[in-house]
Structure 1
Amino acid sequence: MDKRLIVALDYDKLDDVERLVELLGDAVGYYKVGMQLFYNVGTAAVDYLRRQGKDVFLDLKLHDIPNTVAQSAAALTGLGVSMFNVHAVGGLSMMQAAAKAVSETAAQLNVTRPKLIAVTVLTSISGAEWAALGYQRSIRDQVIHLAQLARQAGLDGVVASPQEAEQIRKVCGKEFIIVTPGVRPQGAALNDQSRVATPAAALAAGAHYLVVGRPITAADDPRTAAMAILQEMGAK
């Protein structure tokens, strides 16, 4: 089982999650629970996936003052997920507080410490939207800067587009986790993603994990779609 593929469960109902997970079976071992699913069904989705022996990436993008994020990170550590994230633009102090809370809580609970990663710049952000936000750096330079800041804060990695993965790998080292959304097989619809790459290209650029949603979940045959992506990944 290739756990470099993380399937995004962008659903409102647990029944839909259960149907997909059963359909994909042992082909997929890692799933992303994002805000849409978590805000609808709460921890039930995480509990179900863990009972099925699946790894969980909890994608809630925590972003608040350091104390609030630290307390929230401590609570999420107790859920038993394999990885969750914060927003890097929350700053160095916020990320450091989160990292400290995760390590301390995992030790207190005697559980495996989940990986803590930071979102850099959303892969839906286009060049035009970026210009409207008024940042002085380019998207690429900002992503690299935030990745280095996350590494300095003691985080395990970042979420970044495939287009920035290669440079992050160079400046942050091979052990620094890179999770890449915006992965689209050849011929797949872009939907609301702007900075994308194929599975093979994302891995070649240095990504550790590929997050794929609609190309699998909206396919007529999700298992076949997942297997096609895994086959392409297996060549890398």
Structure 2
Amino acid sequence: MNDPRIIIALDFPDAKQALDLTAKLDPASCRVKVGKELFTAAGPQLVEKLMDNGFEVFLDLKFHDIPSTVAGACKAAAGLGVWMMNIHALGGRKMLTAAREAVPVGNTRLIAVTLLTSMGSEDMNEIGLKGDPQDVVQRLALLARDCGLDGVVASALEAPMLRKMMGESFCLVTPGIRPADVSQGDQKRVTSPCQAIENGADYLVIGRPVTQAEDPVGMLRRLNEEIGELKDGQGLSA
């Protein structure tokens, strides 16, 4: 599998737990995501260790600050050699453009977070974001594309609309993925892996359904098989 669709979220408090899990996984079957908690605890050294072990890393730090600060952070992240990183689209045009200039189009993909999948309409109203989630996601995704970013992080529920608007080359990364028989946790806008792929997602971020499974390797295999069957049945590209 040359381009694994699944990105395992290593949402652990320390490097040991992350490395213990990834020691069981085949880098050919998934990529891995390092977020704020783990990166704060373990730092760039863990990212480098994961890459030494063969994994491509999505550095999920959602940079959101003044343009010069975000540009510097993005340049440093790209210097680690990560496969993908993200910034927050709510930082605005100047910040997005500065990040793109700091990370030229190439080996490291630069994508933007649109709206956190934990947020619903009530949460948006409370912070002054008008419209329903799809309206906000659409505006932010268009802004990200206009600034030259490679794609966005968005709920799979918004993926059909985004795929139609953005075309096939725009990368869609979808968190909030839960197998049908697994609890939604604190996510509000969720879909199953197969539904996310059908909706147009390129990559699926999956955390607890795999990391907290009794058999993480078996669960990952099951999810990859389901996606593979979907591709075989519908002629989806890898």
User: Corresponding residue for 2:126?
Assistant: 132
| Aligned partner letter, 1:24 | L
Aligned to 1:169: 163
TM-score by length of 1: 0.94
- State which drifts further: 25-34 or 144-153: 25-34
What's the counterpart of residue 70 of structure 1?
Answer: 71
RMSD over aligned CA atoms reads: 1.3
Q: SS in structure 2 opposite 1:42? A: helix
Partner residue, 1:101: 102
Shift of 1:130: 2.2
Asked if the contact 1:158/1:178 (under 8 Å) is kept, the reply is yes
Provide TM-score, normalisation by structure 2.
0.93
Residue aligning to 2:116:
122
Q: CA deviation at 1:138?
A: 1.1
The question of 1:89 aligning with 2:83 is answered no
Matches within 5 A, 1:3-22: 3-22=4-23
Whether the aligned pair in 2 keeps the contact of 1:117 and 1:159 (CA below 8 Å) is yes
1:102–1:113 CA contact under 8 A, matched in 2: no
**Structure 2 unmatched ranges of 5 or more:** 231-238
Structure 1 residue 122: Cα displacement: 0.2
Instruction: Specify the alignment match of 1:40 in structure 2.
Output: 41
Q: Is the 8 A contact 1:27 1:227 kept in 2?
A: no
CA contact (8 A) 1:33 1:58 kept: yes
- 1:225 corresponds in structure 2 to 219
Question: What residue identity is the alignment partner of 1:51?
Answer: D
Distance, in Å, in 2 between the alignment partners of 1:120 and 1:153 is: 14
Q: How far apart are residue 134 of structure 1 and its match?
A: 2.6
Q: Does residue 155 of structure 1 match 2:156?
A: no
CA contact (8 A) 1:4 1:210 kept: yes
Shift of 1:145: 0.8
Aligned residue-pair number: 229
2:165 counterpart letter in structure 1 = V
SS at match of 2:80: coil
Shift of residue 127, structure 1, vs aligned partner: 2.6
Q: Does 1:59 align with 2:60?
A: yes
d(CA) in 1 for partners of 2:26 and 2:222? 15
Tell me which of 196, 207, 216 is aligned to 1:213: 207
- Residues 6 and 28 of structure 1 are in contact (CA less than 8 Å); yes or no, is this contact kept in structure 2? no
Report the secondary structure of 2:130's partner residue. Answer: coil
Give the secondary structure class of the aligned counterpart of 2:157: helix
Q: Deviation string for 1:12-49 (max 9, x for gaps)?
A: 22111111111123563300000010000001221111
User: Retained in 1: the 8 A contact 2:27–2:55?
Assistant: no
Cα deviation for residue 128 of structure 1 reads: 2.4
**Partner Cα distance (2:65, 2:153) in 1:** 18
Q: Could you list the runs of 5+ residues in structure 1 that have no partner in the other structure?
A: 107-111
Q: How far 1:126 sits from its partner (Å)?
A: 2.0
Are 2:4 and 2:28, in contact at CA under 8 Å, matched by a contact in 1?
A: no
